[in-house]
């Protein structure tokens, strides 16, 4: 596999995630699009690390930190979505825009 194929995969993941992020109304679908976009970025970073400096562990640590941050972000996002849904019976982003009330 070449760097171009990995970057093509990363661009495809990012594009599908960005489309899902911008075109959906459901909060859960927006979070799934965000996760796909972040996965595309992680694939690109890992590919650059593998082809540039595969002998050093810096890239692996960066990817693990990014995956950990993404997992924490998704858990918090789903917790907030669940709390909004239970409090107001709202699962659409437009309806949940006013969080103060």
Residue pLDDT, tens place only, 33-85: 999 999 999 999 889 888 888 778 887 888 899 899 889 988 998 898 888 88
- 98 within domain boundaries: no
- Give residue 95's pLDDT band: very low, low, confident or very high (50, 70, 90): low
Residue-number span of the structural domain to which 29 is assigned: 3-88
Res 81: pLDDT: 84
100 located within any domain: no
Inside any domain, residue 54? yes
In a domain, 68, yes or no: yes
Inter-residue contact 10 to 20 (CB < 8 Å)? no
Residue 30 lies in a domain: yes
Q: What's the pTM?
A: 0.79
Q: Which residues pair with 26 in a beta bridge?
A: 92
Q: Is 10 inside a domain boundary? A: yes
Per-residue pLDDT tens over the stretch 72-89: 988 998 898 888 888 877
| Total domain count, the chain | 1
CATH number reported for the structural domain that contains residue 13 in this entry: 1.10.287.3510
């Amino acid at each position: 596999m070449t760097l171009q194929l990995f970057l093509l995969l990363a661009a495809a993941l990012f594009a599908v995630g960005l489309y899902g992020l911008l075109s959906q109304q459901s909060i859960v679908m927006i979070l799934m699009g965000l996760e796909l976009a972040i996965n595309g970025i992680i694939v690109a970073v890992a590919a650059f690390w593998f082809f540039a400096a595969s002998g050093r562990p810096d890239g692996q640590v960066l990817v693990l930190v990014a995956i950990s941050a993404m997992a924490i972000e998704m858990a918090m996002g789903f917790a907030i979505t669940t709390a909004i849904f239970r409090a107001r019976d709202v699962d659409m982003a437009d309806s949940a825009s006013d969080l103060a009330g």
